[in-house]
Amino acid sequence: MKEFDVRRAKLLDKMENNSVALIFSGVSKISSEDEFLPFVVNRNFFYLSGIEQENSCLMLIKGVGVTKENLFIDPFDPVKERWTGKKLNVDQAKDLSQVSNVFTNDAFASMLTLVFEGKYGEIKNLYVDLAPEIKIKNEYSTKSLAEDFKAKYNLNIIDVYPMIRDMRMVKSELEIEELRAAIRKTNIGINRLIKALKPGMYEYELADLFEFSGREKGRSNLAFSTIVGAGVNSTCLHYPTQDCKIQADDIILFDLGYRENLYCADISRTYPVSGVYSPMQRKVYEAVLNCNKAVIAYIREGLTIKDLQEFATNYLKNECVRLKLISPEEDIRKYYIHNISHHLGLDTHDISDRSRPLEKGNVITVEPGLYFPELKIGVRIEDDVLVTSGRAEVLSDSIIKEANDIEKLFKTKK
C-alpha cells in the first residue's frame, strides 16, 4: 500500500507549482436500455490509489509551499447497497489508498471552490487525464470538465496521461511480482488445457475451461478474451468465434492470460493436437521459436521496440528462406502480420511510448508469428520479458516451448 504513496509523491514532484490534478476512476458504461457493462476502472486512477470503485476522484494539490492529497468516493447509501452490494466506506478507502483525507462526493464541489478561490494560493494549472472515454458521468467526460474549468477559472489545462504513462512503463519490484504471479497461474491453466485437449472438441470448450480454471483458482479473471484457434483458424490473429471442431491433424494456437491484482499475463503457445508436430508444422514452429529466442537474446537497454521489430522481421525472413518456406523474393510481411512486442502491465497492451528506448524495469512481450492459411498453419510463441541492466529475464520461462518438450508432455497425458 505504501507504493501508492510513492507514486503520488512522484507525480506531485513532476507537477508544476500552483497546480491541481483531478484523476477520475470512471463510471459504468450503458450496455442497453436497463443494463450497464461491468465496471472497468481507469487504470491510471488505480495506479495512484489502489481503488477500483467507480465514481471516485483523486485530487492532488501543489500550492504555495504545500501539497495535499484528497480522495472522494460515493457516500454510504443503504438502499443502493441492498441493490448493488457493498462499497468502500471512508475508513476502508483510507486504508487501501493510504490517502489521509478521504471525503464523500457531496463535498467535492465545495472543496473545488476552496481550491480555486485561493486556499492554497493562486491555482494556474489543471492536470486532467484526457484519455478517451473517461467519463465522470454518463454524458460528461474529463475533456468536458477541462473545457468548463478552463473557461470558468482561466486555467492552463495539462494532460496528465503522458506523465502517468512514463511512470507506469517502469515497473517496481512489487509490480513485477504481481506479473510473475499472473504468469504462474496462467501456466497452470495452460497445463489444464493440454490435459483436456483432444480431437473432436470445440474450440470454445477450451476457452471456457481456461476461464473456469482461473475462476476456480483464486477467482482470477482473464487478462483479455482467450484466443483459441485450430487449423486454419490459427492463422487469424485475433480469431473471435471459437466455434469449430478440432481435428486430429490440426495445429492449435492459444493466446491467453490471467490477471493478478489487475496485472496481466499475456502468453501464446502453439501445440499439435495429435501430440506430434507434422514435418511442415515443425518447420514453421522451429522458425518462430528460433526467432523468439533470438529476439529475447537481442533485447537490451537503449533499443526501441521498432529496433526489435526490424530485427525480428529480418530474422524471420532469413529463417523462412533457409527452410524453403518462402522464396527470397517474397515479402515476409505477408506471413508475419503483426508487431513483435508491446508493453505489459495493468493493461495487456499497457500504455507506453513506443519510440522511447527500453530501460531497466520495462516489461514487454516477445511474440513472433508466422501464418500460412493455405497450409492451415499459424504459429505464435509469446513470452513476457523483463528488461534488466544485462540480459533480459524471461518471466514466463517455466511455460515450455521447445518442440521436443511439448511432444514429451503430450505423451505423458495419455
State whether residue 131 is helix, strand or coil: coil
Question: Which class in CATH covers the domain with range 2-167?
Answer: alpha beta
Q: How confident is the model at residue 351 (pLDDT cuts 50, 70, 90)?
A: very high
Q: Residue 382 in contact with residue 267, Cβ under 8 Å?
A: yes
pLDDT > 90? residue 185: yes
How far is it, in rounded angstroms, from Cα 62 to Cα 16?
Answer: 7
Q: Which of 36-45, 115-124, 247-256 has the largest mean confidence?
A: 247-256
Domain with CATH 3.40.350.10 in the chain: 2-167
Tell me what pLDDT residue 220 has: 84
Give per-residue pLDDT as tens, 264-311. 999 999 999 999 999 999 999 999 999 999 999 999 999 999 999 999
Pairing of strands 377-380, 363-366: unpaired
Q: What is the mean pLDDT of residues 341-351?
A: 98
Tell me what pLDDT residue 151 has: 92
How far is it, in rounded angstroms, from Cα 372 to Cα 285?
Answer: 12
Helices (H), ranges, 129-202: 142-153, 161-169, 173-196
How far is it, in rounded angstroms, from Cα 332 to Cα 341?
Answer: 17
CATH code reported for the domain at 170-412: 3.90.230.10
Q: How confident is the model at residue 414 (pLDDT cuts 50, 70, 90)?
A: low
Give per-residue pLDDT as tens, 22-44. 999 999 888 887 788 889 999 99
State whether residue 351 is helix, strand or coil: coil
Domain with CATH 3.90.230.10 in the chain: 170-412
Q: What is the mean pLDDT of residues 355-372?
A: 98
Phi-psi region of 288 (alpha: psi -120 to 50; beta: other; left: phi over 0): alpha
Q: Which amino acid type is present at position 407?
A: E
Q: What is the mean pLDDT of residues 251-262?
A: 97
Neighbours of 98 (CB within 10 A): 18
Question: Which residue has 504555495 as its cell numbers?
Answer: 64
Strand partners, 137: 140
> Whole-prediction pTM value?
0.95
Phi-psi region of 302 (alpha: psi -120 to 50; beta: other; left: phi over 0): left
Query: What residues contact 117, with CB distance under 8 A and at least 6 apart?
Result: none
> What's the start-to-end Cα distance of the chain, in Å?
46
Lowest mean pLDDT among 147-151, 276-280, 410-414: 410-414
The closest alpha carbon to 298, from 316, 285, 286, 311, belongs to 311
Tell me what pLDDT residue 393 has: 98
